[in-house]
């Protein structure tokens, strides 16, 4: 199969990946702020605390 361009990136994109990515565990440590979050429900942490974005400020202060 011929390439559309002479770019080396086009040849690289046709190659199969050499290594597979390791699967990240979805279990968060107990010290993590998202541990036992009702928003996650078994999903991976996204790095943004949606709970703090969704709840009003008054309710957040009571929870903490």
Residues 30-62 pLDDT 10s:
787 777 766 666 666 666 676 677 766 655 555
Alpha-carbon 27 to chain mean position: 13
DSSP letter (8 states) at residue 56: -
pLDDT tens per residue across span 12-31: 888 887 776 666 666 777 78
Q: Where are the domains of the chain?
A: 21-64
pTM, rounded to two decimals: 0.30
What pLDDT sits at residue 43?
Answer: 66
């Amino acid at each position: 199969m011929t390439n559309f361009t002479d770019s080396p990136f086009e040849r690289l994109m046709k190659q199969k990946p050499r290594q597979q990515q390791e699967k990240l565990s979805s279990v968060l440590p107990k010290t993590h702020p998202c541990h036992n979050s009702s928003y996650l429900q078994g999903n991976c942490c996204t790095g943004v605390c949606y709970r703090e974005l969704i709840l009003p400020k008054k309710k957040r202060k009571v929870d903490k």
